[in-house]
Structure 1
Amino acid sequence: MADPAAKAFRLAEVLGFTANNTQELRDFLLTVDPQDLVSHDDDIITPEVTPADLYNKQPYRPLRGLLSSYMKVSDNPLKNMMDYILSLLILPLPPLQEEIRIQHLAWLPVIEQDVEGAFVTEWPAESLKAGRFNKVPVITGFTSGDGLELIRQKLYLSDPAAVQELSDNFVQIVSPILHLPTAEEREEAALMMRDFYFGHENITIDDAQAITDMCTDIYWGEPADATVRAASNHTDAGPIYYHLFDYRGPELGNGTYGTSHASQGFMMFYNERMGLPDPNTTFGQLRLAMIRLWSNFIKYGTPSPEGEEFIWEPFDNTNLYYAHITDTVNLEQALFKERMEFWQQNIPL
């Protein structure tokens, strides 16, 4: 992730001010209209740079020319190619920039110094594992196609060239977002991910389901699953009601590769465009069932107080209960078992 301080200095420059130190920077940014602070994200995210781009740009043009000349005069084609590959490996190439990644946000939370008024002073994962969190009932989960939110933005469902970019630069795109301590470990894990989700050399647009699953797991599935597992390790934690929202009906759009991000909201809250669904349809009946479960949780701290027909058992690390919400709501165990076990074994929280 790019240095947040560098981004703040870059934002000031975009807004027409050059700061010499952090105090000047702070004083200037406090004078800026809030709308201006949040409307220049695209200007401060570093542009996309691929290894091929770097080879064709400064400061690598002289070396490119030298290599090209060498390859013309040498009479050993195999040696030419090996030397060329070696030269690329030893170049002090900068890392691929933010825009090439699956998700690139200009601003993210940072760990603050532990001073009065600080809000986040340690990594939330560390707080969770250590039991430093509020022990209250929790209802949480994700959708079967949460990753569609990102891959539509990256055109991975419609543009073969965009998918080829993912295939060609997979490790550079995926490794920076994996929660492992060293770059070497993250790169090794990215290679294992490629083999696990795709199992072959080239990723194409025909791999849309695997791309959706991978992006869902990276940003929503594994974080949710790791969170409920870590919290459940603490015997004084409140009950955790875990769910997968997987309704594929036409009311929520194309469900070929999964149920889109935040689709639960269309079930729970009135939407003027959709209106009130017919309560006699599958969608209408499911909506009423979900509203009842969530309302129960708000009122009683459990979706299934005494007298309810459906019993939503809380998650624990033995039974791994979750509510699988499709056309109906069913209690199941071990959500995406193979996928989540891959993450636990290779990219643990």
Structure 2
Amino acid sequence: MKNIILLCLTVACAASAQSEACESRTVQTAQGPVRGYKNDDKDIFFFYGIPYATAPTGTRKFTAPLPGPEWKQPFEAVTKNIVCPQGKHQSLNLTGYEEREDCLLANVYMPDTNETNLSVLVYVHGGGYVIGFGEALVPTALVRTKKVVAVTFNYRLGVHGFLCLGTEGAPGNAGMKDQVALLRWVQKNIANFGGNPDDVTIGGFSAGSSAVDLLMLSGMTEGLYNKAIPESGASVGVWSVQIDPVQNAKNFAKQLNFDNVDNITALEEFYSNLWYDALTSDVFFDRIDSTFVFTPCVEGDTGVEKFLEDAPVNILAQGKNRKVPVLYGFANMEGLFRIGNFLQWKNGMNEKFSDFLPPDLQFKDDKEKEELAQRIKNFYFGDEIVSETTMQGYIDYFSDIMFAYPHLRAVKLQVDAGSDSIYLYEFSYYKPYPNNIGLPEFMKNVRGAGHCAQSTVVHESNKFIGFPDNSEDFKTMKRIMIELWLNFITTGKPVPEGSKLPPWPPVGANRSPHMDLDLQLNLKGSLNEKRARFWDDIYQQFFRPPIAPLKL
């Protein structure tokens, strides 16, 4: 198959009027030589589908990754359509892509330059830990500056990546251990692609942002990076870490008609023998509790290296996180992520708002839960019902519980514990939805930047659904964002000394200052102060921390 692909590529080069578009470069890795090619982008060599590790199979398929294969002849790094097994969701078009169990592949974007020791960006894809792949959003705009080498990659998803039973066969966090394996691969190999292994920034969008935030809390990642850019997803968010991973596994097994769920040995055996069409039968994307079910977990003691040993809140409060420069923030209307559920959910929110509370809150009884639910509903909707006329309250509520407040909570914990190089922002640039896409009436007046809007400005969107924008304002915003991100990747500051951009100091007490990212950058004070304090009070009183599986 590799020979067929290479033959097709060679024929395409021969037929091209611009033969330099197919120029190749061969790079030595610890596993063997790999050959990448230019395409229409003449500033970048693309190395697709390099196996950085091997996904275990059979009854071991939920365990840590194994070493990658080795080869002697140049590996033709041209395969870009392999993805990890995953459920289907309308936000991601996988037409033409192949789901494969052994899917741990990396893509390297190498600028065409003779410079070496370039800064490195490792970018983690999003998708709620249940969908996505490395090439969904790519940092090629940064690579074109010829100051950055970038890496994207696949990691195991959903049940495959995050079944967490606390057993030898399913200790938990296989997908996060894939990410650690990728970072270790980068340390061994990136110098030969022109990158500096001592200057690695980890970044990511949505679940990739949450993953980056978690990578900073893990003992497994020491020495593997020195800066971080989490874009719209925080480690302390309700969907980032499973509250009760064993109960989640039991619930899904019951969904699949398995009843002996209280026998953990039998439960592990059940999952170990499932085909991937069963493991991916539920995408877990549209749950009213704002979780995606199979996500990272606090691991129990199973005799293997643990990715996450304690609840993120505890690690941050104790100052045990790695204190590196962090570019940290979210868009101003992240809750647009749930706009597609509005018509389905609005009546339920009016009838029993407590069903929509995040499950990382706990109560002594139903009366206390209903009282808090009413208090929260009043905060966002006042005396009105959830309806088309209170759409902003709906968007703000889901913005806060899923994305904005977790970032702000994490910032406070880190600053209180001594972090002094976090650069906080809110992204507020937006473009109106096109008039010709048949939006329902209630959406036509929505004006704000949706989930991960900043990511789709900085990086190139591949398969996640979005709308192209060739306006001059968008081009201006993209230039500003690339400059900020590039500054941070190369210096650890979004606005270094000597820059013509407005000064941007690190965030301090009271989550201030923060930068409003729009066509005009504007340094402001405390971010979402009233809403953040509201949730501070709630989480101080009602927080339910995630738990690890009990030791058998």
TM-score of the superposed pair, with normalisation by structure 1 = 0.71
Q: Percent identity?
A: 26
Task: Identify the residue that residue 220 of structure 2 maps to in structure 1.
Answer: none
2:216 corresponds to 1:26: no
Q: Aligned pair in 2 of structure 1 residues 13, 336: CA closer, same or farther (>3 Å)?
A: closer
> Which residue, 269, 283, 294 being the options, matches 2:459?
269
2:521 corresponds to 1:333: no
Q: Do the aligned partners of 1:208 and 1:257 also contact (CA within 8 Å) in 2?
A: no
Task: Identify the residue that residue 95 of structure 1 maps to in structure 2.
Answer: none
**Equivalent position SS for 1:265:** helix
The structure richer in strand per residue is 2
Please show how residues 82-97 of structure 1 align to structure 2 within 5 Å. none
For 2:321, the aligned partner's letter is F
Unaligned runs of 5+ in 1: 46-97
Q: Distance in 1 between matches of 2:428 and 2:499?
A: 22
Task: State the Cα distance separating 1:7 from its structure 2 match.
Answer: 4.4
Q: Distance in 2 between matches of 1:2 and 1:318?
A: 28
2:305 corresponds to 1:110: no
For 1:8, the aligned partner's letter is A
Task: Identify the residue that residue 535 of structure 2 maps to in structure 1.
Answer: 343
**Cα-to-partner distance string for 1:114-139 (whole Å, 9 max, x where unaligned):** 45423223211111111111111111
**Cα-to-partner distance string for 1:236-267 (whole Å, 9 max, x where unaligned):** x2400111111122379967242110111221
2:349 corresponds to 1:166: yes
Q: Aligned pair in 2 of structure 1 residues 102, 259: CA closer, same or farther (>3 Å)?
A: farther
Q: Aligned pair in 2 of structure 1 residues 252, 312: CA closer, same or farther (>3 Å)?
A: farther
Q: Do the aligned partners of 2:430 and 2:447 also contact (CA within 8 Å) in 1?
A: no
> Which residue, 289, 302, 305 being the options, matches 2:493?
302
Deviates most, 208-217 or 116-125: 116-125
Q: Do the aligned partners of 1:249 and 1:255 also contact (CA within 8 Å) in 2?
A: no
Q: Cα RMSD (Å) of the superposition?
A: 3.2
Q: Do the aligned partners of 1:239 and 1:315 also contact (CA within 8 Å) in 2?
A: yes
Q: Aligned pair in 2 of structure 1 residues 274, 104: CA closer, same or farther (>3 Å)?
A: closer
Q: Distance in 1 between matches of 2:434 and 2:452?
A: 10
**Cα-to-partner distance string for 1:128-162 (whole Å, 9 max, x where unaligned):** 1111111111111111111111232x2x2xx3x73
Q: Do the aligned partners of 2:334 and 2:399 also contact (CA within 8 Å) in 1?
A: yes
**Equivalent position SS for 1:250:** coil
Q: Aligned pair in 2 of structure 1 residues 339, 277: CA closer, same or farther (>3 Å)?
A: same
> Which residue, 278, 287, 311 being the options, matches 2:478?
287
2:318 corresponds to 1:130: yes
2:403 corresponds to 1:220: yes
2:437 corresponds to 1:245: no
Please show how residues 51-62 of structure 1 align to structure 2 within 5 Å. none
Q: Aligned pair in 2 of structure 1 residues 252, 290: CA closer, same or farther (>3 Å)?
A: farther
Task: State the Cα distance separating 1:298 from its structure 2 match.
Answer: 0.8
Q: Do the aligned partners of 2:329 and 2:424 also contact (CA within 8 Å) in 1?
A: yes
Unaligned runs of 5+ in 2: 1-241, 436-443, 544-552
Deviates most, 176-185 or 288-297: 176-185
Q: Distance in 2 between matches of 1:17 and 1:171?
A: 29
Please show how residues 49-88 of structure 1 align to structure 2 within 5 Å. none
For 1:166, the aligned partner's letter is M
Q: Distance in 2 between matches of 1:179 and 1:270?
A: 37
**Equivalent position SS for 2:509:** coil
Q: Distance in 2 between matches of 1:170 and 1:14?
A: 25
For 1:29, the aligned partner's letter is Y
Q: Distance in 2 between matches of 1:186 and 1:132?
A: 33
2:452 corresponds to 1:256: no
Q: Distance in 1 between matches of 2:328 and 2:434?
A: 20
Q: Distance in 2 between matches of 1:12 and 1:339?
A: 38
Q: Aligned pair in 2 of structure 1 residues 108, 247: CA closer, same or farther (>3 Å)?
A: same
Q: Distance in 1 between matches of 2:422 and 2:387?
A: 38
For 2:456, the aligned partner's letter is F
Q: Do the aligned partners of 1:323 and 1:331 also contact (CA within 8 Å) in 2?
A: yes
Q: Do the aligned partners of 2:420 and 2:508 also contact (CA within 8 Å) in 1?
A: no
> Which residue, 199, 205, 209 being the options, matches 2:382?
199
Equivalenced residues, count: 285
Task: Identify the residue that residue 249 of structure 2 maps to in structure 1.
Answer: 8
Task: State the Cα distance separating 1:15 from its structure 2 match.
Answer: 5.4
For 1:333, the aligned partner's letter is G
**Equivalent position SS for 1:202:** coil
Q: Aligned pair in 2 of structure 1 residues 181, 120: CA closer, same or farther (>3 Å)?
A: farther
Q: Distance in 2 between matches of 1:325 and 1:340?
A: 19
**Equivalent position SS for 2:307:** coil
Q: Distance in 1 between matches of 2:250 and 2:461?
A: 41
For the pair shown, the structure with the greater C-alpha radius of gyration is: 1
For 2:460, the aligned partner's letter is Y
**Cα-to-partner distance string for 1:11-67 (whole Å, 9 max, x where unaligned):** 45665766573223323422334453123356xx9xxxxxxxxxxxxxxxxxxxxxx
Q: Do the aligned partners of 2:511 and 2:527 also contact (CA within 8 Å) in 1?
A: no
Q: Do the aligned partners of 1:163 and 1:204 also contact (CA within 8 Å) in 2?
A: yes
Q: Do the aligned partners of 1:189 and 1:347 also contact (CA within 8 Å) in 2?
A: no
**Cα-to-partner distance string for 1:266-325 (whole Å, 9 max, x where unaligned):** 2111246867846xx221111111111111111111111111122111100157011101
